[in-house]
Amino acid sequence: MIGKLKGIIDSYGEDAVILDVGGVGYLVHCSARTLQELPRPGEPATLAIETHVREDQIKLFGFVTDVEREWFRLLQTVQGVGTKVALAVLGTLKPADLATAIAVRDKAMVARTPGVGPKVAERIVTELKDKAPAYTNVDPALVRLSGALDEKRAPQPVSDAVSALVNLGYAQPQAAAAVAAAARSAGAGAAVQTLIRLGLRELAK
């Protein structure tokens, strides 16, 4: 199995690159984001490789980082997500953004991917919630709050404050983040008006 290739960029295709390794040209399928990050033909490049072997073909998928390759594998554990959809998601969202979307259950962010409808986006954020890599730079309080809101377990003032901010035009994840910060500073039992006021202050930063 091929795990990494280091060579010279030979040429680009619509969704793949040919990497010349010692005179052998490997056809490597990549996400749109990866293709944009690779250098021009004639320059050196290194790709983390995921090898898929079938009876009738061997297909290589390339990634700039091992983290992106790990997300490619994880995405395919979701029902209805194959290699094409996984590459499309990674071509739309950076791994850190995908982790954040899953952490706060932002289905709309995942559904921005061409070819990914609401149902598949729902499965991605639900099924990968406990499998995904550590959510770097995601506030644990926001993750807890988002989960509580999703399961209708958040205190009523918190839910009302988030709803109020959403009605003002803020996206649900941003509203939840602001109210999470407001709840931490205001303490337990804060009134909904206080949470809205502090939440707006957070959003204005």
Rounded Cα distance, 191 and 180, in Å: 14
What residue segments make up the domains of the chain, in order of their start?
4-63, 66-127, 140-203
Rounded Cα distance, 100 and 98, in Å: 5
Cβ-count burial 170-179 (b if 16+ within 10 Å, e if not): bebbbbbbbb
Q: Among 9-23, 56-70, 110-124, 151-165, where is mean pLDDT lowest?
A: 151-165
> Is the CATH code 1.10.150.20 the one for domain 66-127?
yes
189-203 average pLDDT score: 86
Q: For domain 4-63, give its CATH number from 2.40.50.140, 3.40.50.720, 2.60.40.10, 3.20.20.70.
A: 2.40.50.140
pLDDT > 70 fraction of the chain, expressed in percent and rounded: 87
SS3 62: strand
pLDDT tens digits, residue range 137-177?
555 555 555 555 554 556 788 888 888 888 888 777 778 77
pTM: 0.67
- The count of other CB atoms within 10 Å of the CB of residue 38 is 19
pLDDT of residue 149: 56
For residue 129, pLDDT beyond 50: yes
Of 6 and 152, the one with more pLDDT? 6
- Looking at the chain, which runs of residues are DSSP E strands? 4-12, 16-21, 24-29, 44-53, 58-63
Rounded Cα distance, 111 and 55, in Å: 33
Q: What is the DSSP letter of 151?
A: T
61-84 average pLDDT score: 93
